[in-house]
Structure 1
Amino acid sequence: MVKDLEAKALAGDLEAQALLHFVRLLRHKDYPGARAYAEGFPEGPKERLLAGLRLLEEAPERLEDPLFAAEREVVLGVKAVGEGRRQEAEAHFHKALSLDPQHHRALVNLGNLYQERGELEAALDLYQRALKLAPDDPLVHENLAALYKKKGDLDRMVAHMKRATRLKMRPPVPLDPLTGKPQPRPLHRRIPLWVWVFLLALLAYFLLKKP
């Protein structure tokens, strides 16, 4: 499903580009962002996306839409970890990667299982692969920081913790629901506050000077 979307998106299909961006939001587990983004679609696709999100949060095992397949496997894997079924969780994460090799959270969660088992180099390899796919996701940096702490590399640990903190503080950018590209911010947000203060003061000055 993802490969087909990527091929269509590269060919200039706007709907495929938009759906591919929706998949990127799922990879980041930005469900509120995905829900808001889905609202910009025409009625049919919008209902499909919103219904998928509802099932993903309420009953992922019942979700059959192929657009959500990789994310469903990650969600089920995380649930299995929480219930102590780590072998089953590992299978879910591997399946997610077979469906979507760019699903960085599948890599991170798989790396967490390796880290728990003390296989630090294998975990590091998975985290680094995730970092290449999603360098701006705080989750990746937080897990790298935890790994470097175990390895005793405090400089790298601190660097990744700082990076994660900065990324969490960054304001979200509005996106076009047809292309998935950032929308220009409204003019009033782009003009610094001091400019507005100056303009208002200037306006008041001229109004007060009127005879």
Structure 2
Amino acid sequence: AAAIQAHRAQALARLRLGQLAEAAAACDAALRLADGAAQPAQSLRHAQAETLGTLALVRMLEGRAEEAEALFRRALSHRPVLPEILGNHASLLARLGRDEEALEQAEQAVALRPRLAGTLHLIGTLHHRAGQQESAIAVFHRVLAVDPGHLDARLRLADSLRVAGHWEEAATVCRDGLARIANPDDPNRTPLLANLGAALQSSGDTAGALDAYREALRLSPDLPEVHNNLARLHQETGNPDAAIEELRRATAGRPANQPLPLPLRRALLSLLVAAGRTAEAEAEAFGIARTAPEDAELCFGITALFLQGGWRDQALPYVRKAIRLAPDVPRNWIAFAEALRHATPPEPANGVDEGL
């Protein structure tokens, strides 16, 4: 058993360094020793289960889910069941989208060992993913009681609190996290500041939200979601021009092959239409359409934005293209009728796109 544990310790060390192949080789060496034992004692069976669990974790990290699943099952066939293996198996099940099974396994693990922070975090994440915010909040509090420095649990707790409408508590959780980071330039402050801004924005504290967002952008200028939140904040306070400029700043300096995410580009187009900035809106719409030239849904989305602003002429080429790409979708024809009721019918599906 001692030799097996030595190989497993080596595997864990390699795993921490990200050396997955070397970690797997050390596990294989340990398992060969276990298989060669004449009459396994309890301690040897325990070491074998731990090694199988470690190898399963390696295979999971390598993306070899089927092998990982089989190895976890073998490890869990040993008695007594080891809670860490249950927790890691739950992580694999969650990755595979088998959330109910994952939750069951994770809860078994923490029933055996209540202070497994990683598995508690998984339980909270599963509740959050299912929209069960109050349950998620309770579990994330347990994580922080075990490990106050668990940044992701703190961020998810703040987000769950905000979604559940507990804005002041969400802000307090973020401020507590910031107080734990002495260096004002530590990048770990960035997501806490972004979450603080979101909580303050939800609570109506405009000035506080602006300060938090600006500090987050000072640390990490390329934060599309923060730029989007700032733009919404400006729009909510009756300053659409500032909202447009915020999204423009999000675009500035980005590499040509990394454009602003599509939802933010749509938000910018909507703002430009609402502000009556015709030339800029047309240029932005053209740029959006080029990102997915065969996407009828995207063309319809652009059409809808233009029609909302009463811009029928600008909507027309996009709705015509939507019809060419998806002629059997009734809403495209309804939008076409709204854009121009007595227009020339759109060309067949193999026609030439109008400048798109």
**What secondary structure, in the 3-state scheme, does the structure 2 residue paired with 1:118 have?**
coil
Amino acid aligned to 2:71: H
Which of 64, 80, 98 is matched with 1:85 structurally? 64
Q: CA deviation at 1:101?
A: 4.1
User: What are the residue-to-residue correspondences of 1:55-134 with 2, within 5 Å?
Assistant: 55-57=10-12, 58=14, 59-63=26-30, 64-65=33-34, 66=44, 67-134=46-113
Amino acid aligned to 1:51: A
Structure 1 residue runs of 4 or more that deviate by more than 6 Å after TM superposition: none
Give the alignment's TM-score, normalised by structure 1: 0.52
Q: State the number of aligned residues.
A: 125
Instruction: Tell me the residue number matched to 1:200.
Output: none
Amino acid aligned to 2:6: A
Structure 1, unaligned stretches of length 5 or more? 1-44, 171-211
Percent identity at matched positions? Answer: 25
**What secondary structure, in the 3-state scheme, does the structure 2 residue paired with 1:99 have?**
coil
1:51 and 2:18 are equivalent in the alignment: no
Instruction: Tell me the residue number matched to 2:138.
Output: 159
Q: CA deviation at 1:165?
A: 1.6
Give the alignment's TM-score, normalised by structure 2: 0.32
Equivalent residues of 1:52, 1:68 under 8 A apart: no
Instruction: Give the whole-Å Cα distance in 2 for the aligned partners of 1:113 and 1:54.
Output: 22
Q: CA deviation at 1:70?
A: 1.0
Query: Judging changes above 3 Å, is the alpha-carbon distance between structure 1 residues 129 and 54 closer, same or farther for their aligned structure 2 residues?
Result: closer
**What secondary structure, in the 3-state scheme, does the structure 1 residue paired with 2:77 have?**
helix
User: What are the residue-to-residue correspondences of 1:200-211 with 2, within 5 Å?
Assistant: none
**What secondary structure, in the 3-state scheme, does the structure 2 residue paired with 1:77 have?**
helix
Query: Judging changes above 3 Å, is the alpha-carbon distance between structure 1 residues 88 and 124 closer, same or farther for their aligned structure 2 residues?
Result: same
Q: CA deviation at 1:51?
A: 2.9
Amino acid aligned to 1:110: H
1:143 and 2:122 are equivalent in the alignment: yes
Tell me the alpha carbon deviations over residues 70-109 of structure 1, each in whole angstroms, 9 at most, x when there is no partner: 1111111111111110000001111111124421122222
Query: Judging changes above 3 Å, is the alpha-carbon distance between structure 1 residues 51 and 119 closer, same or farther for their aligned structure 2 residues?
Result: closer
Q: Tell me the C-alpha RMSD between the 2 structures.
A: 2.5
Tell me the alpha carbon deviations over residues 91-134 of structure 1, each in whole angstroms, 9 at most, x when there is no partner: 11111111244211222222222222322222211111112111
User: What are the residue-to-residue correspondences of 1:167-186 with 2, within 5 Å?
Assistant: 167-169=146-148
Query: Judging changes above 3 Å, is the alpha-carbon distance between structure 1 residues 50 and 169 closer, same or farther for their aligned structure 2 residues?
Result: farther
Amino acid aligned to 1:151: A
Equivalent residues of 1:102, 1:133 under 8 A apart: no
Q: CA deviation at 1:53?
A: 4.9
Equivalent residues of 1:107, 1:129 under 8 A apart: yes
* Greater radius of gyration (CA): 2
Q: More deviation in 124-133 or 81-90?
A: 124-133
Instruction: Give the whole-Å Cα distance in 1 for the aligned partners of 2:64 and 2:5.
Output: 30
Structure 2, unaligned stretches of length 5 or more? 15-25, 35-43, 150-356
Equivalent residues of 1:55, 1:62 under 8 A apart: no
